[in-house]
Every structure is written in structure tokens, then in C-alpha cells.
Structure 1
Amino acid sequence: MNVERLRILRELADRGTVAAVADALSMTPSAVSQQLKQLAKEAGVTLLEPDGRRLRLTDAGRALVVRTDDVFAALARATAEMDRYRASPRGRVRVALFPSGAALLLPGLLTRLANSDVDIDARDEDLPASSVPELLADYDVVLTHRDERAPSTAGPRIEVTTLMREPIDLVLPPGHALAQHESIDLRDLVDERWISVRGGFPVDDVLLSVAAATGVEPRVMQRVNDFRVTEVLVAAGHGVALMPRYAVVHPGLVRRELSGVRAGRIYELATRPDAGRLPAIAAVLDAFRAEATFRTGLWPSTS
């Protein structure tokens, strides 16, 4: 079976439509379809079947995608073995980061790799952890985050490294009645107006746990994913918010821990299986780990 046709099949599994695959690979949709038909002939089985106006993988197609991952992992290992004959890791590594994670870790990551032969192509992607499979179609490494009670994003085609935990705290405007407390009981928050993020992100997951603990649905007044906007809204008295601890930079806000609930988000690095064997990607993963250790060490408590 042709390796490039296998690549097209894997792209279809990742992206979902022939049109999306064609766009990603700079091909026409008809050319993509022809390559997939030829692959089915080579495999001797039906790989795709109609699903409304789209195509979906058959059981045989899904099985071949898993084996395709093995093929590309073997090619990556061969490349890695050749790279070991060089003096140092080298190459371009495409990295996706969620915005607040990028603000925390990307400057140090770039500094740590500045004198290496590894080139980082970093992009911010403000998407929930459920989007990791889609992102790995375009990136070598994806920095994602999830509520600490949510399952890992690891799967048969995704390898995950847990990087760090970041507490999620309550932020209050200056002069708020609760600001005098060391920590805030959830029951004291039932009448508050909230500034939150869009659904599917860790901060909103924690807010849902507040609702579950108090039996009262929070009054969410605004939903914005930019924490700088959240900070100025809270500082202006338009509500209270939950924010990741290391993302709070506004000097006028009061930050307090929640009592009665363990609130935090987990940073994860996602790659294709065996991608970490490539020296350039391994260097990026190591730099991420070192920077995460350094950043969390700056705070006296991560409870």
C-alpha cells in the first residue's frame, strides 16, 4: 500500500471530510477521492461508506488508520535513528498552545531552545481539550488543559504527558465583602454575578462543580475567554470570576482560594504515539517540562 495514500486516509480520520483533507493537503476533492479509491483496491477491502452526504470509515478503514499510525511511527523512529548520527536535535516543530498557557510557558520555552537547532513554530489555539485529535492533524505537539476531574485526553492515537497542575482561584473586585476572608466557602457565592468562559473549558467546569455543591445555578453575566478582559470586568465591579492562579496579573484584584472544593486545571502535552522519539520533539517536550517546573516553583503553594 502506498504510504502517501495511507497519509490521506489518516487525514480523513482526523479531519472528517474529503473537502477538509483536500484543503489541508492542497489537493482537489476529486483527487483525494481517487486516491482513497485506489487505496481500497490496494487493501482489497471497503474502507469508506456513505454517511448522508459525507463518507465515514468502515471497521476495516478504522483498523487501517490505527496501522497507518504504526507505519508513520516506524518512519519517525527511522528518522530519529538517523538524527542520532547528528551532533544535536534539529528541525522544525509545530506547537499549538492555549492562550494563557502560552503566556505562562512559551517565552521560557523559546529561551531554553534559543541556542539549539530546533525551530519552534508556535500558534495559539483557543479550543477545549476535546479538539486535540483535530489539532494533531496540523501540529506535532499540542499543549492543552482540562479540569483535574476530567479524564485525560490520551487515546489509542494520542500520547499524553501530564505537565503540571494549576490551582483555580476566586477573583474579587477591590472592596468586595468577601475579600476580608482567607478562603471562600462555596455557599457564600450563591448570590454573586459571574464572569466565566465558554463551556467546555476548565474554568467553566469548576463553576459547574460550584453549582453542584450549592444546588444553585450560577448567574453568569458574561462569557469571555480572554482573561485580561475578565480581569478588567471584575475590577470594574461587574461580577466575580474563577481564574487560573498563574493567569492573574491585574494589581487591583483580590485573589482567594475556594474552600470545600478542589479546583484546578491540568496541563497536558499531546503528541502522536512515538513522536517523542524524534530528537527535535523530545527536546521540545523536555523544555516544556523544565519550564513548567520552574514556573510552578515560583509559587509557594499549589494547593
Structure 2
Amino acid sequence: MDVRRLRLLRELADRGTVTAVAKAMSYTPSAVSQQIRALQAEVGVTLTEPSGRGLRLTDAGRMLAARADEVLAALDRAQAELDAYRSTPRGTVRVALFPSGSLLLLPGLLRRMAAVEHVALECRDVDMVPSEVPALAADFDVVVAHRDDRAQPFDEERLEITPLLREPLDVALPLGHRLAGEQRVELTELVDEPWVSVGVGFPVDDVLRSLAIRTGTRPKVVQRINDFRVIEALVADGFGVALLPRYTADNPRLVLRPLADVRAGRNVEAVSRRGAAERPAVRLVLDVLLEEAARVAG
């Protein structure tokens, strides 16, 4: 049933004449009559009958007008709630983060958002490569992703990108390593070292491979582990060296040293579907992520 026609029927029950309804609703009387007839055709029951020069409701018409009150009230409540969604943050925001991004940003995000009423976060860590991010953005409101400095940016025609921070990548060495006392380390000084890296295609490994191309070295990768905490433990126990993100690594048995004359880092970005940030709750989450990223990089 057409809601506008239900509203006209309700008005007819309240105002008594087609002319009065037309005046109140800014219709012509013939348009009101036409819409009432169309409603009768929709429901397949006679809703009005002649009364002198006008119309009056049948028993079925009076019943439907009474039920129309319930329908219109429910629609008004729904509209009020939608208006609230447009103007104030509320509802559930689904967030996917790459695992070390979760370590970096998620505790602060949850802490800041805990004070916000009417907004719930559903967060999930996802071991993602950049090519998987567009598909994830279809399933989540916000995807916190990372990519190599030299990687192609995400498609801004389909996605909205909010840069959060650039995290430098340092060489992680065990305590007592021959280069641990240096302020900076040349990649060529590590040619003979065993490397512990992440899976092929993940941003940190992309950085290592691109640096190898630039310097003409060929790092000997002996283990591939995606969990940075495990990589830290392996390096600390002397099983190799690694590139690790500066703000995330915190093993006290490691020494982090920047690479000399080479810019190595990963870009951490919040990716969302086009238009998703128009929803106040999503916009708020993006703003809070920016605040937390500024604190981390601070």
C-alpha cells in the first residue's frame, strides 16, 4: 500500500470531506479522489461510499484509517531515528585493521570511543595485502590498511582515503650485534645476514625487496613470519635480522637502527567506501583514528 494514499485516507477520516483534505494537503479535490480510488484498487476493498455530494468511509475504510495511524506513527519514528543518524553519531561501525595496526591504534581507539554514547565498534584484525583492501572496504565501514612507500596508492575514484601516519621501518638487530653500536646501518652491510621477513606481497617485504633492487643486494630470507612479535623474538634470539616498524616494535632485547641514505617506511591509511564518511558515526571513528595516530607518531 502506498503510504501517501494511506495518509490521505487518514486525513479524510479526520477532516470529513475531500475538499478539506485537499486544502490541508495542498492537493486538488480531484487528485485526492483519484488517490483514494487508487488505494481502493490496491487493497481490493471498497473504502468510501457516496454521502450526499461528498464521500464517507465504509467500515473497511474506517478500519484501515485506524491502522494507518499505527503505520504513519511507525514511519514518523523511523524518520526521527534516521534524522538522528544523519545529525549525531550513533549505530555500529565495523572496523578492520591489519594486525600490527591493531597493536598500534586499536587500544587507543577503543579507549577514546568508550566515552561516546550510542556508537558501538565491531573490530577485527585481518592479515591483508593492499590488493585485498577494496574487497574489505565492501564488508567494513573502515579498513585500516598499510602499504609500502613506493606502492601504488589506493583507487580514490572508488574509495575514500584518510592518511593516518607514515611509520618508518628500521633494521632490528639483536643486542651485541656487530652493528648495534652504529647510528645508522647500510643495507650492504647486512648482505651476509639471515633475514626474517613477512610473507611475500605484504608491505614490509615489499620494502625489503625494493631496497634490495635499489642497492643491488640480495637479502637472504630464512624465515617468513607475519606476526611481528614472533619476528622480534627470533631476532632477539639471534636467528636473523629484520625490518620492523618503529612505533610497533618494543622488545627490550632488540636494537633498532635506521637505514643509511634510504627512506624506508609504510603508510598507514584508513580506507572506506565512497560516501561512508557522510554517516556521523563513521566520520567520528575516522577523526578519532587521526587523533590516535597523531599521538603515536607524536
Query: TM-score surpassing 0.5?
Result: yes
The structure with the largest alpha-carbon Rg is: 2
Gaps of 5+ in 1: 1-77, 298-303
What residue in structure 2 maps to residue 144 of structure 1? 145
Identify the residue that residue 95 of structure 1 maps to in structure 2.
95
Residue 110 (structure 2) pairs with residue 110 (structure 1): yes
Give, in angstroms, the shift of residue 100 of structure 1. Answer: 0.5
> What's the counterpart of residue 261 of structure 1?
262
Instruction: Spell out the pairing of 1:124-143 with structure 2 (5 A cutoff).
Output: 124-143=125-144
Q: CA deviation at 1:81?
A: 7.1
* DSSP 3-state at the match of 2:270: strand
**Paired position in structure 2 for 1:195:** 196
Helix, strand or coil at the partner of 1:246:
coil
Change (3 A) 1:158 1:176: same
Give the secondary-structure state (helix, strand or coil) at the position aligned to 1:187.
helix
1:149 CA drift (Å): 1.5
Any idea what SS the aligned residue of 1:178 has?
Answer: coil
CA change 1:243–1:285 in 2 (3 A) is same
Q: Report the CA distance between 1:113 and its aligned residue.
A: 1.0
Shift of 1:79: 10
1:70-110 per-residue CA deviation (whole Å, 9 max, x = no partner) reads: xxxxxxxx999723676x31000000000111111111111
Shift of 1:132: 0.9
Give, as a single letter, the amino acid of the residue that structure 2 aligns with 1:96: A
Equivalences, count: 219
| Correspondence 1:225 to 2:226 | yes
3-state SS in 1 of match to 2:259:
strand
What amino acid does structure 2 have at the position aligned with 1:138?
D
Alignment check: 8 A CA contact 2:86 2:280 kept: no
Question: What secondary structure sits across from 1:212 in the alignment?
Answer: helix
Q: 1:277 to 1:265 in 2, by over 3 A?
A: same
Structure 1 SS opposite 2:139: coil
Matches of 1:286 and 1:207, distance apart in 2 = 32
Q: 1:81, 1:94 → 2: CA distance?
A: 19
Matches within 5 A, 1:71-90: 82-83=83-84, 88-90=88-90
Q: Which residue of 1 aligns with 2:10?
A: none
CA distance in 2, matches of 1:79, 1:162: 34
Taking the TM superposition and a 5 Å limit, the aligned residue runs for 1:139-178 are 139-178=140-179
Q: In structure 2, the residue corresponding to 1:165 is in which secondary structure?
A: strand
Q: Aligned-pair distance for 1:275? A: 0.7
Deviation string 1:209-263 (CA, Å, 9 cap, x unpaired) is: 2311332321000000001110111011110000000111110101101012100
Displacement of 1:156 in angstroms is: 2.5
Partner AA of 2:287 in structure 1: D
Q: What secondary structure sits across from 1:136 in the alignment? A: helix
Task: Say whether residues 1:244 and 2:245 are aligned partners.
Answer: yes
Say if 1:85 and 1:93 are closer, same or farther in 2 by CA, change over 3 A. closer
Partner of 2:183: 182
Q: Give the letter aligned to residue 215 of structure 2.
A: T
Per the normalisation by structure 1, the TM-score is 0.69
1:103-125 CA distance string (max 9 Å, x none) = 11111111111121210000000
1:19-43 alpha-carbon deviations (Å, 9 max, x no partner): xxxxxxxxxxxxxxxxxxxxxxxxx
**Aligned residue for 2:277?**
276
Secondary structure of residue in 1 paired with 2:180: helix
8 A Cα contact 1:80 1:279, kept in partner: no
Q: Which runs of 5+ in 2 are unaligned?
A: 1-78
Counterpart amino acid of residue 262 in structure 1: R
Structure 1: distance between partners of 2:119 and 2:86: 16
Distance between the aligned counterparts of 2:208 and 2:86, measured in 1? 51
CA contact (8 A) 2:170 2:256 kept: yes
